[in-house]
């Protein structure tokens, strides 16, 4: 399953910007058509049947574009919908347990905030990529601890896995984190709140060329 290149625009769904399944699928398809290279399904709702329905639909859509779908914080949902992997926060489960549960081919990412030490531990536990942030003020997580831009270059030179930058990333600052060493940029609002999602995804993707 790890045939995917983990580089480029990492698009994360948002239940506020995507109030129903149809709007979610339309917006994600626009992002994929614009060049998004990885999709994360993030939905904190307790409505498990709806989450499974949406995740299954996203897996089907992402497979059409040969793009991996990761599930945020829920290994059981990831397995139930045959997603390509899972993204875990520091309090959302053990990487080794997730690996055992989802198999060697699953993509497993881990949020490491502003800590290189947490990233090194994640790598030791078989994470396929690590995410740092927030690098800029974020409307999704307004209380997130700021991460210094220099952390990206340090991580890039220290770690053997791809690095994701997250937190308030937009077209004005995305180039800054990419130049500092980010292999992927995780974007929510600046992508899915855009008037033209496909075009905005293309703009973000072009920064990696």
The set of residues, in sequence order, having a beta carbon less than 8 Å from that of 161 and lying 6+ positions away, is 123, 127, 128, 129, 130
Please give the chain's pLDDT, 209 residues, in tens: 557 999 999 999 999 999 999 999 999 999 999 999 999 999 988 899 999 999 999 999 999 999 999 999 999 999 999 999 999 999 877 999 999 999 999 999 999 999 999 999 999 999 999 999 999 988 777 787 889 999 999 999 999 999 999 999 999 999 999 999 999 999 999 999 999 999 999 999 999 98
Dist. CA 199–CA 102, nearest whole Å: 34
Dist. CA 170–CA 189, nearest whole Å: 8
Residue 9 has what DSSP assignment?
Answer: E
Dist. CA 103–CA 97, nearest whole Å: 10
How confident is the model at residue 2, as a pLDDT? 55
Dist. CA 29–CA 130, nearest whole Å: 25
User: Following CA atoms 170, 176, 180, 186 in sequence, which dihedral angle do they give, to the nearest 10 degrees?
Assistant: 0
Q: Which helix (H) or strand (E) holds 26?
A: helix 21-34
How confident is the model at residue 145, as a pLDDT? 82
Closest-CA residue to 41 (of 137, 202, 33, 31): 31
Rounded to two decimals, what is the model's pTM? 0.96
Looking from the CA of 166 toward its CB, the CA atoms found within 13 Å total 26
């Amino acid at each position: 399953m790890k045939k995917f290149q983990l580089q480029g625009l990492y698009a994360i769904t948002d239940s506020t910007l995507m109030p129903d399944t149809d709007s979610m699928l339309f917006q994600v398809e626009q992002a994929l058509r614009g060049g998004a290279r990885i999709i994360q399904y993030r939905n904190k709702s307790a409505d498990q049947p709806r989450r499974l329905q949406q995740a299954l639909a996203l897996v089907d859509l992402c497979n059409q574009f040969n793009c991996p779908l990761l599930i945020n914080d829920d290994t059981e949902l990831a397995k139930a919908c045959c997603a390509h992997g899972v993204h875990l926060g520091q309090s959302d489960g053990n990487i080794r347990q997730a690996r055992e549960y989802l198999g060697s081919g699953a993509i497993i990412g881990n949020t490491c905030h502003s800590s290189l030490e947490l990233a090194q531990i994640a790598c030791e536990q078989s994470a396929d990529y690590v995410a740092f942030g927030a690098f800029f003020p974020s409307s999704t997580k307004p209380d997130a601890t700021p991460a210094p831009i220099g952390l990206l270059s340090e991580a890039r030179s220290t770690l053997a896995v791809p690095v994701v930058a997250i937190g308030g990333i937009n077209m004005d600052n995305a180039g800054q984190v990419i130049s500092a060493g980010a292999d992927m940029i995780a974007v929510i609002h600046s992508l899915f709140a855009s008037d033209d999602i496909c075009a905005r995804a293309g703009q973000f993707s072009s920064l990696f060329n």
